[in-house]
Copies of this chain bind each other. A is one copy, B any other.
Amino acid sequence: MKFNPPKKLSEIAELLGLELDGDPDFQVTGINEIHMVEQGDITFVDHPKYYKKALSSAASVVIINQKVERPKGKHLLFSDEPFTAYNSLSKKFRPFQSSARHISDSADIGEGTIIQPGGFIGNHVKIGKNCLIHANVSIYDHSVIGDETIIHSGAVIGGDAFYYKKEAAGYTKMHSTGRAIIGNRVEIGCGTTIDKGVSGDTTVGDGSKLDNMVHVGHDTQIGKNCLFAGQVGIAGVVIVEDDVILWGQVGVQKDLRIGKGAVVLGQSGIGKDLEPNKTYFGSPTRDAREKMKELALIKKLPEIIVELRNK
């Protein structure tokens, strides 16, 4: 999430009640997690294992739970609970705002766009021109939809990231400040759900088509002209390059990349990066031809074992 306009670092330190090592007048541009943070932004780190990564990241401000030497050009905020401090910041600057009506007054809806009955369009949502939003679609605050995009009934755009910190007392919810951004000429099937990013954005590229009940987790980036069949599920932080085809019920684990033009057959389970322009099958996923050979071999096993026993 970006601040608009930027905030003075001293103001943020005071808000959180944290000790500052750095320039109080530094202008903070936004907040983001380590792997997506940009110069000018705040990030947080609460485990020694990631100190180095955070301190050498693009972040200009790091909330950290140990006194460390301040790297040049960076500013530190000390907190016993960096996650909690970061989460407070998220809630403060992007609080949940309830809606009194189906279409928010602050929503910006383009010419020629049709919103069918029961559609919920949240605060600060932008929808382009000539879109068709079918009945009972829900679009959460701050989502962005391009032009000529079709969203079918029951779909949900911009739901919260499924992201918690495990603590002694249970799971603490990370307040999501990211957005869901849908391109032009996209089609989103009935009941499909596209979560917002935790602090960055979940994106669906121009011309991509998602069938019914597809689940796209937070911070996933889907390229252009991808085709996902029914009930595909993608966990968070996945990069899907252009022209990828995922057939029905394929599952994708988090933090991986699917190369341009890859095709994945139905019910496959993807647990690692996939190369471009190859066809995959199986759970866990394998090169489709190898997997087919393997299945054929297994089918012949009983007779192979007889052959070997009689040798």
Partner-B contacts on A (CB < 8 A): 96, 98-102, 114, 116-118, 120, 122, 132, 134-136, 138, 140, 150, 152-156, 159-160, 162, 164, 169-171, 173, 185, 187, 189-191, 193, 195, 206-207, 209, 211-213, 215, 217, 224-225, 227, 229-231, 233, 235, 248-249, 251, 253, 266-267, 269, 271, 283-284, 294-295, 297-299, 301-302, 304-305, 308-309, 311
Q: Is the CB of B190 within 8 A of A190?
A: no
Secondary structure at the A interface, as helix, strand, loop or mixed, is loop
Given known pairs A101-B117, A135-B120, the reply for A190 and B193 (CB within 8 Å) is yes
Given known pairs A117-B99, A170-B185, A235-B229, the reply for A153 and B156 (CB within 8 Å) is yes
How many copies of the shown chain assemble into the complex? 3
Given known pairs A170-B185, A170-B224, A190-B159, the reply for A235 and B231 (CB within 8 Å) is no
Which residues of B sit under 8 angstroms from A173, Cβ to Cβ?
A: 150, 187, 209
Q: Is the CB of B99 within 8 A of A116?
A: yes
Q: Is the CB of B233 within 8 A of A233?
A: no
Closest to A293 in B: B302
